[in-house]
Structures are given as structure tokens and as C-alpha cells.
Amino acid sequence: MATDRRRTLWALAASLAVAGGIAAALAHIGSPRKLRLERLDAQRVEALQALDRDIRSHLQRENELPDSFAGLAGQPWARPVRVDPESHELFGYEVTGPRAFRLCAEFALASPPQPADRKPDFWTHPAGRHCYEFEVDEGRDEKPCD
């Protein structure tokens, strides 16, 4: 009888240790849901970066910004216009000047904070809808607005 009780206590202790290890791992790396949202936000940033490159290529080739993503879709050199990986909706795009435009997306989470000794990355974003502003200087390297 004492042996059965000892086995039960050992089994309980082992189960608690395993459960504690799993809880600690989840606390350290985040929940599967949070990891999925982080991955979706990273895909959104990659898609916006690809759109930025294609819009700039259109400007170089046609000497004007496309009015909409439809203007990119018809170009043989452009990649297929990417959409939000979760909602499958088009990202926001607006021409704000002859050589300026805005790209917008809905982000699930805010970007992780940058170390204090580093300049913030241009592609950081808050949770929710966020727009990136771009201005392309003629004759200079093309760069996002700061």
C-alpha cells in the first residue's frame, strides 16, 4: 500500500514538473496565438516592402505613381499584388503627391520595442491600423519619409 502511495506521489510530482516546464516555456516564447499574430504581422511588413519596391519601380519606368494597385497588376515586371495574409483584403494605398505615397495595414500587435541605443526601424508599427509615408526624391536614393 505504501508503495502504491509513493508511486502516486511520484507520478503527481512528475506531472506537476512537466506542466510547470510547459508553462515556463509558453511564458518565455509566448502563446501559440501570439506567435501566429507575430508571424502574420511579419508577413504584412514583407508584403508592404514588396509593394513599396514595385511602386518605386513603376515610378522609375512610367515617371508617375500608379493610381491604384490595379496599375501595378497590369505591369509585366511587377509581382502579383499581395494582400493581407489573414483578411485577404488589399492593403491601403494612397498617392499623396507627385512623388509621395502612403501604404497602410492593420497590425495585430505592436512591434517589439527597440533597444534605447538604436534608431527605431522604419518598419516598426503599433497595433491597429498604421500607415507608412514615402517620398521619392528625384535624382537621389529613394527612401521612406522619417
With bands split at pLDDT 50, 70 and 90, how would you rate the model's confidence at 92?
Answer: very high
For cell 495595414, the residue is 105
30-82, pLDDT tens digit by residue? 688 999 999 999 999 999 999 999 999 999 999 999 999 988 887 887 888 88
With bands split at pLDDT 50, 70 and 90, how would you rate the model's confidence at 89?
Answer: very high
120-134, pLDDT tens digit by residue? 789 999 999 999 999
> Pick from 58, 17, 44: which is nearest to 105 by CA?
44
Domain match, 111 and 84 both: yes
Domain match, 17 and 40 both: no
For cell 509558453, the residue is 26
Domain match, 73 and 86 both: yes
- Which tops the pLDDT comparison, 39 or 139? 39
Domain match, 72 and 20 both: no
C-alpha cell at 1: 500500500
Domain match, 64 and 115 both: yes
Domain match, 15 and 45 both: no
Give residue 15's domain range. Answer: 1-30
Give 108-113 contacts, CB < 8 A, sequence gap 24+: 108/37, 108/38, 108/40, 108/41, 109/34, 109/37, 109/38, 109/41, 111/41
The answer to whether the beta carbons of residues 130 and 123 sit under 8 Å apart is no
pTM, two decimal places: 0.74
92-97 β-sheet, strand order: 92-97, 100-107, 128-135, 143-144
